[in-house]
Amino acid sequence: MADDPKSPVLGNPAKRHVSHEIPAEGENGLFTQAWYPICLSSAATSTNVRGFDFLDGKVIVVRDEAGKAQVLSAYCPHMGADLSAGHMVDGQIRCIFHHWKYGADGRCRSTAIGDPAPEAARLFRFPTQERWGLVWAYNGETPHYELPDMRYPDDEMVFKVRVLPDLPVDPWIICANTPDIQHIKTLHGITIDGEDRHDAVEWTDHSLKYSFTGVYSNGDKLFNEIGVFGPTLYWQSTDFGPKWFGFMSPFGQPRPGVSALYMVVCTRRDSGTPEEVDAFLDFVLDFEAKVVSEDVHNMLTMRFRPGVLTRSDQSLARYLRMMKDFPRAHPSRDFIR
């Protein structure tokens, strides 16, 4: 039997096949240069200093005199006191230790003892924006892409945000579910009309987007346009029967191997009475939370390592290559740790 060429080969492979070696977040002290959600908009105020874990360090969030949210490094350049333990005084961040004061631009404005404010006494100021009920910071000094728009302008929509428990994987691993068409069909039970259209996926250097019609396992029909922007944002625009909703799942990065998970839903402000719109958004949040829960058990148990791929994985493979080549840096490292 051993010499029979039709006999199955029982030997193990010499080693496990790995198709894409992608650096883990924090590897060699570097993180993907992307937009990350830091906190809810409600956490940013002009009267309090709030601290948050970010990129294996700590940042603070405040509002400047114009009401604009700002994300800054958390540690005082003088002696390293945690500024999130300080106070907002006359629109400035006052360190709890020696009462040095910092503007929302990160510059030291004064020392309580009367010495001139040192020129080098500056906080790291992240590019910051506020959208969809969240405050975002970019890992870098100049963003190389912008957050996407929905089908309608932001001021024509109503948004609701829900915070979910952290997941023990890097954000880009969760986002890899989107180009993983096998996973959409098998885990989520969505029947997609027609053949997989890998050639119809729209790619940029930081994103992918594609659309499909299909049927959920419960029989509901849908038209979905879905995408990923960077390694940190899942984006979805859905015609669900006669109604439309937008859904986003942004992922923060408090430390390596951990994703802070948010859910954002929106719909047209004029799509019903305020009570009807509110009820619809609650329905969508619960609906999408169920979909997310189908991924959570896998994310809590998996050891993500892209290996043997098939033709159904063409878009997934391209996304993995994009993540491998995505710019990585950590210019704030000496300030936030």
pLDDT along the chain (337 residues), means of 10: 57 70 94 98 96 98 96 98 97 97 97 96 98 98 97 97 96 91 70 75 96 75 89 94 93 98 97 96 92 83 80 90 96 98
Distance CA(329)–CA(327), nearest Å, equals: 7
Q: Are 251 and 38 in contact (CB under 8 A)?
A: no
Could you please state the CATH topology (level 3) that the domain comprising 154-328 is classified under: Naphthalene 1,2-dioxygenase Alpha Subunit; Chain A, domain 1 (3.90.380)
Specify the 3-state DSSP secondary structure of 280: helix
Could you please state the CATH topology (level 3) that the domain comprising 41-126 is classified under: Rieske Iron-sulfur Protein (2.102.10)
Q: Are 31 and 329 in contact (CB under 8 A)?
A: yes
Residues of the chain with CATH 3.90.380.10: 154-328
pLDDT score of 6 = 62
Q: Are 253 and 55 in contact (CB under 8 A)?
A: yes
Residues of the chain with CATH 2.102.10.10: 41-126
- The DSSP 8-state label assigned to residue 83 in this structure reads G
With b meaning 16 or more CB within 10 Å and e meaning fewer, what string describes 71-82? bbbbbbbeeebb
